[in-house]
Chain A
Amino acid sequence: MPRSLLVVFLAIGFALPALADELSRARQNELLYLLEQDCGSCHGLRLKGGLGPPLLPADIADTPDEALIDVILLGRPGTPMPPWDVEITATEVAWLVGRLRTGKVAYDR
C-alpha cells in the first residue's frame, strides 16, 4: 500500500521530534476529546474496549507505532474500524499514538 507507507513515512519522518510544538494546545485537547468521545463509541470511553479492541498501554505495547498510525489513518477494511485521515493529519495521529502509549488521555474539561 504505497499511500500507507507514505503516510507512515511522513508521520515518523518529521512529526515525532517537534510534535508538541507543532500542535496547539487547543488542537491537542480537541484530539483527546475526539479520542474519548468518538473513538470511545467503539473502543470504550476509557479505551477498555468495546466492539473495537482495548487501546490501553498494555494492549498496544507489542504493536509498533507505524502499525498503529497506519490503522488509525487508513482504517481496517472489512471491519468497522474507519479511516480517520479525512479529519486528522499524520502528525496528529502520531501525537495521539504517543498519548495512547502513556495512558494519559484525559482532555481538559
Chain B
Amino acid sequence: MTGNPARAAVLICLIGLAAALLAACTHAPRATGDLGVVIERAAGRLVVIETTGSTILTRVPGLGDTSHASVVYSRDERFAYVFGRDGGLTKVDILRGRVVGRVMQGGNSVGGAISQDGRLVAVANYEPGGVRVFDAQTLAQIADIPAVAADGSTSKVIGLVDAPGNRFVFSLYDAGETWIADMADPAAPKLTKFTRIGRLPYDALITGNGRYYIAGLFGEDGLALLDLWNPEAGMRRILDGYGRGEEPLPVYKMPHLEGWAVAGDIAVLPAVGRHEVLLLDMATWREAGRVPVHGQPVFAVARPDGRHVWVNFAHPRNDTVQVIDLVSRKIVATLKPGKAVLHMEFTPRGERVWVSVRDEDKVVVYDTATLQPVAELPVEKPSGIFLTARAHKTGL
C-alpha cells in the first residue's frame, strides 16, 4: 500500500466494482439468505438472483455443459456447488459472482449432495457409473465408489441424497439396487447394499427428517421404500401396481422426485406414464387417492406450508402449471407461464414461487396467494432454480 490510505481504499473499491462485487465497499456487507441461482442451461452460465426485490444480481459463466445441472449449497449459504452434465463439479462464490473451483470429476454426471456436516460433496455419475466424494473446501477427491452391482455389471447412479449420520444414499439405475455410504471415515466409505429393489429406479428422494428414502421405478408400477431408522428391515415396495395393469403412456421427460411434497401425512408424487399425481399416506404407506392432471407430471412441489402443490408437465404439454389444493384435493388453478416450464422453486416461507420457462427465455415469479405473476426476468434457456435456503434442508 502507498502512504495514502484513502486513495488505497478508493482504488480497492474500484477494483471491487470492476469485479462486479455484489457487496461493494460503500455498502453494508451483504448476506445470502435471499439469494439463489438459475441455470442458463444452454449457455453454461449461472444467474445469481435475489428474491426480496426479484432481481438479477450477476451472471457467472464458465460452467461447461449445464443441460441437467443441479446445485447444492455450503452451510454458510455462500458457495454453490454445481453438478454439470459434462462431469464438471464447479464451486461458485455467489457473493462475489465467480467460479472459485472446478474439477472434471467424471464423464457424465447428474446430481450430487452435500454431507450433513458440510465437509463432503458427493457426485453421482452416469459414465463411468458411481459416486465420487470431494472435499467441500478444496474439491480434492477423497473417495471413489464405483457402482458395480452384485452381478458384476456397472450401473448409472441416480437419486443421490445426504442422510443424517454423515451418510449418502443412492441407487443404481441399471442394476436396481440402493446403497448407503457411511462417511464416518471419508476415505473409506462403509457400504450397505440393498439388491433387487425393483426395475430401473430413475430418481429418489429423502423425507425432510432424513428418515425415509424412496426410489421411483420406471420399469414397474411402484416405488421402493427404505426406512433409515430401521435399515435391517430392507427395502419394501409401496404403491405397488398403481397403474392398475393399464398400458403406461409414453413419458417425454423423466419425472423428478426432488422436493417432497407433503401436507400433514400426505405426500404427493408424480405417477410415471399416467397423467396423475399420487397421494401417499405416510402413516400406512398406502395410496390415499390420486388427482388427474393436465399431462405427465415432472415436478410436484409443495408450497412450504404444505397446503398447495404446484405441478409442471413433460413435453409436449409443458406450457402449463397446475396448482392442487390438498385440503379439497382439487385443482384450484391452471396457469400458462409459457412454453416449456422446466422448474419451480418456492421462496423459503412460500410467498412467491419462481418458475423457469425455457422456450421463452424467462423466469416468472408468482405470488402464491393470488396466483398472479408479479415479476418477469430475462434468462436464457433457464432450467433449474435453486435458492440458498436449500443449504439447511436434508436431501436438498
Residues of A within 8 A of B (CB): 36-38, 40-42, 44-46, 48-51, 75, 78-80, 82-83, 87
Assess A44 versus B202: contact at CB under 8 Å? Given A38-B252, A78-B219. Answer: no
Q: Do the beta carbons of B173 and A45 come within 8 Å of each other?
A: no
Is B67 a contact of A51 with CB atoms below 8 Å?
no
* Cβ-closest 10 pairs across A and B: A45-B67, A82-B250, A38-B315, A41-B253, A44-B85, A82-B252, A44-B67, A49-B108, A46-B65, A40-B67
User: Contact between A44 and B250 (Cβ–Cβ < 8 Å)?
Assistant: no
Task: Using A45-B41, A80-B202 as known contacts, say yes or no to A50 and B126 having CB atoms under 8 A apart.
Answer: yes
A83 with B254: in contact, given A45-B41, A45-B42 (CB under 8 Å)? no
The reply to whether A41 and B254 form a contact with Cβ atoms under 8 Å apart is: yes
Taking A45-B67, A51-B202 as known contacts, 5 extra A-B pairs with beta carbons closer than 8 A to each other, sorted by chain A number, are: A37-B340, A38-B252, A41-B253, A48-B108, A49-B108
Q: Is B98 an interface residue (CB 8 A)?
A: no
Chain A residue with Cβ nearest B66:
A45
User: Of all chain A residues, which has the CB nearest B220?
Assistant: A78
A48: chain B residues within 8 A (beta carbon)? 65, 85-86, 108
Indicate if the CB atoms of A51 and B156 lie closer than 8 Å.
yes
Closest chain B CB from A45 CB (angstroms):
3
Q: Which residues of chain A are within 8 angstroms of B359 by Cβ–Cβ distance?
A: 37
Contact with A along B41-78 (1 / 0, CB 8 A): 11000000000000000000000011110000000000
Q: B251 — which chain A residues lie within 8 A by C-beta? A: 80, 82
Residue of B156, B250, B316, B358 contacting most chain A CB atoms (<10 Å): B250
**In the complex, which residue of chain A has the Cβ closest to the Cβ of B272?**
A80
Q: Which residue of chain A has the shortest Cβ distance to B381 in the bound complex?
A: A37
Name which residue of chain B comes closest to A33, CB basis: B359
Is B83's CB within 8 Å of the partner chain A?
no
Query: Is B218 part of the contact surface with A, judged by Cβ < 8 Å?
Result: yes
What are the residues of chain B within 8 A of A51 when measuring CB–CB?
Answer: 110, 126, 156, 158, 173, 202, 254
CB-defined A-B contacts under 8 Å, sample of 12:
A41-B253, A42-B253, A42-B254, A45-B85, A48-B65, A48-B86, A49-B127, A50-B67, A50-B68, A79-B218, A80-B200, A80-B218
Contact A49 B126 (CB under 8 A): yes
Q: How far is the CA of A51 from the CA of B201 in the complex (A)?
A: 11
* Residues of chain B lying within 8 A (CB to CB) of residue A49: 108, 126-127
Distance between B161 CB and nearest chain A CB, rounded to angstroms? 18
Q: Which residues of chain A come closer than 8 Å to B127, judged between CB atoms?
A: 49
Kindly list chain B residues whose C-beta atoms are within 8 Å of the C-beta of A50: 67-68, 85, 108, 110, 126
In the complex, residue of chain A having the shortest beta-carbon distance to the beta carbon of B359:
A37
Residue pair A44, B108 in contact (C-beta under 8 Å): yes
For residue A38, which residues in chain B have a CB less than 8 angstroms away from its CB? 252-253, 315
Q: A87 — which chain B residues lie within 8 A by C-beta?
A: 316
User: Which A residues touch B42, using CB under 8 A?
Assistant: 36, 45
Asked if A41 contacts B68 (CB within 8 A), the reply is yes
Would you call A80 and B254 a contact (CB within 8 A)? yes
Least distance between B128 CB and chain A CB atoms (Å): 12
Q: Give the distance to chain A from B254, nearest Cβ to Cβ, in Å.
A: 6
Write the chain A residue with the least CB distance to B41: A45
CB proximity of B206 to chain A, nearest CB, Å:
20
Nearest CB of B to A60, in Å? 16
Write the nearest CB–CB distance from B377 to chain A, whole angstroms.
20
Q: Which residue on chain B has the smallest CB distance to residue A109?
A: B42
- Which chain B residues lie closer than 8 Å to A79 at the CB level? 200, 218
**Measured CA separation A92–B250 after assembly (Å):** 20
Interface string of B311-345 (1 = CB under 8 A from A): 00001100000000000000000000000100000
Expressed in whole angstroms, the Cα–Cα distance for A81 and B126 within the complex equals 17
Q: Which residues of A contact B108 (CB under 8 A)?
A: 44, 48-50
Contacts of B173 in A (CB 8 A): 51
Q: Which residues of A contact B316 (CB under 8 A)?
A: 87
Closest to B250 in A: A82
Within 8 A of A (CB), among B221-271: 250-254
Q: How far is the CB of B177 from chain A (nearest CB, A)?
A: 17
Determine the distance from Cα of A41 to Cα of B251 in the docked complex, in whole angstroms.
12
Inter-chain contact A46/B219, CB cutoff 8 Å:
no
Contacts of B253 in A (CB 8 A): 38, 41-42
Q: Which residue of chain A has the shortest Cβ distance to B199 in the bound complex?
A: A78
Residues of A within 8 A of B218 (CB): 79-80
* Nearest Cβ on chain B to A103's Cβ, whole angstroms: 15
Q: Which residues of A contact B41 (CB under 8 A)?
A: 45
Q: Using an 8 Å CB-CB cutoff, how does the interface string of B192-203 with A read, 1 for contact, 0 for none?
A: 000000001010
Q: Mark each residue of chain B from 117 to 142: 1 if its CB lies under 8 Å from any CB of chain A, else 0.
A: 00000000011000000000000000
A75 to B86, CA, bound (A): 26
